[in-house]
Amino acid sequence: MIKKLLIFIFILIPCCWQCLFAQQDAQYTQYMYNTISVNPAYAGSRGVLSIMGLHRSQWVGLDGAPRTQTLTVNTPIGTKEKLGLGLSIVNDEIGPTSETFFGVDFSYTIPTSEQGKLSFGLKAGGHLLNVDLTRLSEFNENDPFFGSDIDNRFTPQVGLGFYYHTDRFYAGLSAPNLLETEHFNENALSSDSDAVSFLAEERINFYLITGYVFDLSYNLKFKPALLTKAVAGSPVQVDVSANFLLYERLTLGAAYRWDAAFSGLVGFQVSDALMIGFAYDRETTELGRTQFNDGSFEVMLRFELSKKYNRILIPRFF
């Protein structure tokens, strides 16, 4: 029953030229460590070479549930660190579809005060889409609804971003991809007005992020953070998180995705260069109450190379 439900949601909604709006950009709970995936202006903002890898398994136990792998690299360029360069690769699997996003990020930073910096970013890249219809249960090759598979269909991507930060505060506004792309099954088209056709559209995702670091005591820091994502055809997604840093090593926190899930977060700064993080989500919707859903998991690793003179002295969580 669950498998058929997922197939219906992800594949069978479009009928008679109705549009399917698939899950858009990948979803993250540890978004505060993964800003460059959604905002190219973040590139180089940490002042060091930063490499981050993240794996997310969503709705564990459900057939065809989303799984995401992300790899990002970003670094400042030049001695004045006004230029930033980044690379991001995201592989997102859901049901019979597999999508790979890859982009190169460029940023330019302007000092606005003794502590404040404003960065402008540009993302350029592409997207590969694969759809393997044989992975569907009870697949019928003669069913005109499905047609043929999609193999490595390429579409270009261009995105923009703005990012302001100090040692304690940050805020950003971005759209990682400004190009709206339609994917459809040409084999399903015919002169018959009642013919069924499959149509999926990539929509523009807009992101607003912000956060602040408070000193509660010498060895305890607190940072609330907010991520808001808006895309046409879907409800606005709001993520609110609260993280605490103890002794500049251990991070403990909780998050809430509005009308969707509660999350727990934990991280540990193993050394000045290496950090690990883990997050667990539990759905608050009907989907979360099914016995086939064991929640969602994220594992994150971040490795940074820095020189003594440009080491980040104040943990920013971002």
Distances, alpha carbon 128 to alpha carbons 81, 89, 131, in Å:
33, 11, 10
First to last CA, the chain: 41
Element (H, E) at 231: strand 220-231
CA distance 244 to 222: 5
pLDDT, residue 316, reads: 54
Provide the token pair at 75.
């670094």
pLDDT score recorded for residue 260: 84
In degrees, rounded to 5, the angle at the alpha carbon of residue 39 between the alpha carbons of residues 34 and 45 is: 75
pLDDT of residue 44: 93
Q: How many CB atoms lie within 10 A of CB 118?
A: 16
Q: What is the pLDDT of residue 137?
A: 63
What domains are there in the chain, each with its CATH number?
40-134+144-176+202-305 (2.40.160.40)
pLDDT, block means (10 residues), the chain with 318 residues: 36 34 70 92 93 92 86 89 93 88 95 93 92 67 62 88 94 91 53 48 87 94 94 87 94 93 94 94 76 84 75 53
The conformation of residue 7, written as its DSSP 8-state character, comes to H
For residue 73, give the H/E element and its range.
Answer: strand 67-77
pLDDT at 183: 57
Nearest partner of 34 among 260, 275, 232, 220, judged by Cα: 275
Q: Which residues of 49-75 are buried (b: 16+ CB within 10 A; e: fewer)?
A: ebbbbbebbbbeebebbbbbbbebbbb
Task: Supply the Cα-derived Rg of the chain in whole angstroms.
Answer: 21
> What pLDDT, on a 0 to 100 scale, did the predictor assign at position 107?
97
DSSP helix/strand/coil, 192: coil
